Structure 1
Amino acid sequence: MQFLLILVAFLLLPGAGAEEIIGGREARPHSHPYMAYLRIQSPGARSTCGGFLVREDFVMTAAHCLGSTIMVTLGAHNISRQERTQQRMSVLRAIPHPRYHRQNFQNDIMLLQLTNRARRNRFVRPVTLPRSQAQLRPGSRCTVAGWGLVSRNRQTDTLREVKLAVQRNQVCSNLFNIFNGQSQICVGNQRQRKNAFRVRGTPEAPLCVTMWLRALFPMEIELELLQESSLRFPGTCPG
């Protein structure tokens, strides 16, 4: 069975719903060297998100993670420690998708141009992007990774991962009225105690994930920022 990778940006807002990884495990340190941890400062609020390095000077994350100030940490495993592998830098420019929809989260994707280029090493390197026509078939296995909550009251400081199965689009269409199979994928299994979900949602429901891959390519043409990205390997699927 083919294993695919879904990278989920986790948003933690004080007093708001947040995502959780349930039934997962701590990832092997630095086994996902493209992961980025974001600290976002907005007027009257602070939050955190996940993202991933797509080029030495660009990080991809969700458009709903936009803030007045964003600090990016690369090469992290435990975000509560000053690890020698970490590289911290600020954001020069935030570029949300021009067709991002705040209500239904369509095109929930954003590029962050870093003030400095990341130093590529075994702890920090860009993700390998899949081909534009890569398909996720029901039954494919995916890995969801992030620094979200592990329960309703406990947040993890270390990167965690959980393997989930891709479901038929109809499964999420029956549960989420905003689901769009053209730009989102449906993963998870209500019969297993493994999932990633919003605190306000239902733990047993599959996860509706925006397909960053499909949103990326119109953005790539418009902004001409990722011409050096590798699109040769269909084995990973940012989402």
Structure 2
Amino acid sequence: MPPLLLLLALILPPGADAGEIIGGREARPHSHPYMALLLIQHAGGLSACGGFLVREDFVMTAAHCWGSSINVTLGAHNIQRPERTQQHLAVRRALRHPDYDPQGVRNDIMLLQLRGRALRGAAVSPVALPGPGRRLRPGTACTVAGWGQVGPNRRSSVLREVTLSVQPDRACQGRFRTYSGRTQICVGDPGQGKNAFRGDSGGPLVCDSAAQGIVSYGRQNGAPPAVFTRISHYLPWVKRTMRRFTPQG
């Protein structure tokens, strides 16, 4: 078994794919070609997050998915199998937003500059980013995908997806003390048992074929709604950062 897949097998126990991303379903293989799996080394050991390709040499994720070293897998569906579509890339630089606040989980956005460039194909391609100032209306249906937990102590080895609806800011303001509608999006109908969960952090909220949000945080039990970083607010920083670290020539 290749070393990266062996590490994934250690953090994703056998049989972990029983169940669903909360309230969701298994995604059609490679229907989300921008999806990235991050294997993160840090002082506490190994962990995994989601992310998404925004350019051939950059992946976007949550700032709280930072570690001493990060490896990225693109083009995957079943992350415990050596699929021919998979591309494994190391991270050259992990660039957290300069105002990231881990205590309040504010400005929870990070760019990963890859060592080398991803090869575009049917299983790997970047996702579009939103236009500046775009505001999502409550009720807008969006998609979240990930390999995170599908319930207590159960993870998924295959990519799963769920359709979630944008909620009014007040639905999160009453539940999360540091929520801000200017920089965050409230997502997930409290009346439905659908949500992203642990391990889905850093994955994209895709609405109308553009990544509008990043899975940030929610309740410990996975009950909706959850809080997503609002990408449109950070577009100046994103563009400036990618331009700064673009190799010349």
- The equivalent of 1:214 in structure 2 is 233
**Cα-to-partner distance string for 1:191-226 (whole Å, 9 max, x where unaligned):** 112222458524433111121332232342355359
One-letter amino acid of the structure 1 residue matched with residue 230 of structure 2 = M
Distance 1:68 1:157, change over 3 A: same
Aligned to 1:196: 196
Q: What pairs up with 1:22-171 in 2 under 5 angstroms?
A: 22-171=22-171
Q: Report if aligned partners of 2:193, 2:224 keep a CA contact under 8 Å in 1.
A: no
- Which amino acid is 1:224 matched to? R
Distance 1:133 1:208 in 2: 19
CA distance in 1, matches of 2:73, 2:197: 24
> In structure 1, what residue type is equivalent to 2:63?
A
Are the structure 2 counterparts of residues 45 and 216 from structure 1 closer, same or farther at C-alpha, using a change threshold of 3 Å? farther
Distance 1:226 1:171, change over 3 A: farther
SS in 2 for 1:80: coil
Identity in percent: 56
Q: Normalization by structure 2: what TM-score?
A: 0.78
CA 1:124–1:222 in 2, change beyond 3 Å: closer, same or farther? Answer: closer
Task: Provide the secondary structure at the position in 2 that maps to 1:22.
Answer: coil
Contact 2:21 2:156 in 1 (8 A): no
* 1:217-228 aligned within 5 A: 217-221=236-240, 224-225=243-244
1:22 deviation in Å? 0.8
Paired amino acid for 1:139: G
Partner of residue 21, structure 2: 21
CA shift in 2, pair 1:137/1:197, >3 Å: same
Query: Following the alignment from structure 1 to structure 2, what is the Cα–Cα distance between the partners of residues 42 and 105?
Result: 19
Question: RMSD of the alignment, in Å?
Answer: 2.1
Distance 2:124 2:65 in 1: 22
Contact 1:189 1:204 in 2 (8 A): no
Other structure's SS at 2:223 match: coil
Alignment partners' CA distance in 1, 2:179 and 2:90: 33
Per the alignment, residue 7 of structure 1 pairs with none
Q: Which amino acid aligns with 2:235?
A: L
Structure 2 runs not aligned, ≥5 long? 1-10, 13-19, 199-217
TM-score normalised by the chain length of structure 1:
0.82
Distance (Å, rounded) in 2 between the aligned partners of 1:138 and 1:106: 22
Mapped partners of 1:223, 1:30: distance in 2: 26
Higher relative contact order (CA 8 A, sep 6+): 1
The verdict on how the C-alpha distance between 1:52 and 1:103 changes in structure 2, with shifts beyond 3 A counting, is same
Q: Which amino acid aligns with 2:140?
A: S
Equivalent in the alignment of 2:210: none
Contact kept in structure 2, 1:191 and 1:204, CA below 8 Å: no
SS at match of 1:164: strand
Distance 2:71 2:153 in 1: 25
Distance in 1 (alpha carbons) for counterparts of 2:173 and 2:81: 41
- Is the Cα contact below 8 Å between 1:51 and 1:61 reproduced in 2? yes
CA distance in structure 2 between the aligned counterparts of 1:220 and 1:146, rounded to whole angstroms? 25
* Matched residue SS, 2:52: strand
